[in-house]
Structure 1
Amino acid sequence: MNHYIGKAALLALSMISASAYASHWSYEGEGAPEHWSELDDAYKTCLSGMNQSPINIDSTAKAHLTPLQTHYSDGPITLTNNGHTIQAGEKADTRDSITLDNQTWTLQQFHFHAPSENTVHGKKFAMEMHLVHKNASGELVVVAVMFDKGAANSELEKLWGVMPGKVDQNVTITPNLDLNKLLPETKTFWRFSGSLTTPPCSEGVTWIVLKEPMSVSAKQLEKFTHTMHHDNNRPVQSLHGRLVVE
């Protein structure tokens, strides 16, 4: 599948961080997703874009996809409450990366949404983790991991134990987090072309949604939603003829 190369992709990563601190967009009220395009000219793509994320994964096409290889050895160093999500940041020279399409994509950050943003056959999962990767050309791949409500997730607890409760608060992650344990062993996936799920909703992002969900306990889920004070998921967007392949 071709990647989209352009200014939107090159700027997307910085936009993720910058947009997270914008005070006038949110998930409710006047700044809710249905109003994002009205808040700033830079957000027009949130309404006009034809390849927006998230989506409902329903009808899929078979394709000869290259396997996803993960190489996570470092783990994140900071955890931030930016008012929109809890985000874990990597060090600048991290070795954490994935191999996809015979390219190396370096992990930039990962964060969480509850309930899930992408859905499968209309089903919302309890929570979704997005791992944002960038290649040498500045293109982005987001690997999405779903979480079903069930047993407590011991690796997730290492993050939750230091979760910053106040907006704009950063903490150093001291536990030795094994990021591999936040992903399923079986890494079969659905793939589609999409966008950032927050303003400016830049397109040209490759999405890899892992099929096998992980688990999160009711207590862990409640702590996240209580810290966020509200759901932090964008509604699913129209496919506009896009194919989801597996």
Structure 2
Amino acid sequence: MKTRIATAALGTLLFTAFANASEPPHWTYQGKTGTSHWAGLEADYAVCGTGQRQSPINIETRKVTGTTAQPIGVSYAPARAEVINNGHTVQVEPANGGTLTIDGVEYKLAQFHFHTPSEERIDGKSYPLVAHLVHKSAEGKLAVIAVLFRTGKSNAALRPVFASLPARAGDKHAMGGTINVGDLLPGSRDNYTFIGSLTTPPCSEDVRWVVMKTPVSVSSAQLAAFRKLYRMNARPVQAVNGREVLVGR
């Protein structure tokens, strides 16, 4: 009997060790697992330190080189969504939320989430909040629209999301009503576009970025509700390394 118990206990320990080993390493924005250490946390995160097309970047408008060949196409519709606190941000996953088309390639909206302060900078200026609208093509390529927020009036499009933010990491719930992601975009579609990366581990590159030029409004109360959960969850700007930044429409 003692032998059986010992064997069972050893099996449990081995299973636990294997399960823990298979989990992705914990990362944060500050401290020993912060942004400057991401590349060393996991072999798959190495590009966070070695990549040459990392995001976010500071967009220097005087260095913007030209205009994209085709304007972006957006087609969003009201959709029900799930709101998730994933331990790094609040993420919203709409069901059949719409599409983004760039240079003839269609990307389906997968989710959007928030960073404070904004990860992207324009001529060195940051904003109190940014939303990243993440889209994926049939071939698995990613395209992200970044919408910058300035403090002002309450953002009507965000009200159903911010009305009840999941308080703890791992919490999630169905959002009340529907959301049309198109309502998050500014009236002007003018943007800056470039090739970059994910701004969180594993920092994968070859991501198409579209940063909207015109900021939209978020209220102080809405911003405070998010910052109650995440006071700072922004990666510092990365080297441009000669990348071309174009003006989009």
Q: TM-score range by the shorter chain?
A: 0.7 to 0.9
> What's the CA shift string for 1:164-203, capped at 9, x where partnerless?
1111001101222222211111111101100000000000
Distance in 2 between residues matched to 1:185 and 1:140, nearest whole Å: 24
Secondary structure of 2:143 counterpart: strand
Check whether the contact 2:25–2:42 (CA below 8 A) recurs between aligned residues: no
Q: State the one-letter code of the partner of 1:90.
A: P
Equivalent position of 2:91 in the other structure: 87
Equivalent in the alignment of 1:153: 155
SS at match of 2:67: coil
Contact 2:97 2:180 in 1 (8 A): no
Tell me if structure 2 keeps the 8 A contact 1:76–1:88: no
Q: Using the alignment, how far apart are the partners of 1:89 and 1:162 within structure 2?
A: 15
Q: Which amino acid aligns with 1:243?
A: E
Q: Is the 8 A contact 1:78 1:170 kept in 2?
A: yes
1:206 counterpart residue number:
208
Aligned residue in 2 for 1:192: 194
Taking a change above 3 Å as real, the CA distance of residues 83 and 64 of structure 1, as seen in their structure-2 partners, is closer
Identify the range of structure 1 (208-217 vs 69-78) with the bigger mean alpha-carbon deviation.
69-78
Tell me the secondary structure at the aligned position of residue 187 of structure 2. Answer: coil
Query: Is the aligned partner of 1:175 residue 2:173?
Result: no
What is the aligned partner in structure 1 of residue 81 from structure 2?
A: 77
Distance 1:36 1:76, change over 3 A: farther
SS of 2:227's equivalent in the other structure is helix
| CA RMSD after TM alignment | 1.4
- Partner Cα distance (1:150, 1:22) in 2: 38
Q: 1:112 to 1:210 in 2, by over 3 A?
A: same
Contact 1:37 1:45 in 2 (8 A): yes
The CA distance in 2 between the partners of 1:40 and 1:160, in whole Å, is 33
Q: Partners in 2 of 1:175 and 1:23 — Cα distance?
A: 35
Alpha-carbon distance between aligned partners in 1 of 2:196 and 2:101, rounded to the nearest angstrom: 19
TM-score (norm 1): 0.87
Instruction: Tell me which residue corresponds to 2:16.
Output: none
User: Which SS does the other structure have where 1:164 is aligned?
Assistant: coil
Write the deviation string for residues 82-124 of structure 1: whole angstroms up to 9, x where unpaired: 1101001133xx2511121112110011100010001000000
What 5-or-longer segments of structure 2 have no aligned partner? Answer: 1-22
| Number of equivalenced pairs | 223
Unaligned runs of 5+ in 1: 1-20
Q: Which residue does 1:45 correspond to in 2?
A: 47
Percent identical residues = 39
Secondary structure of the residue aligned to 1:147 is strand
Conserved? CA contact 2:81–2:179, under 8 Å: no
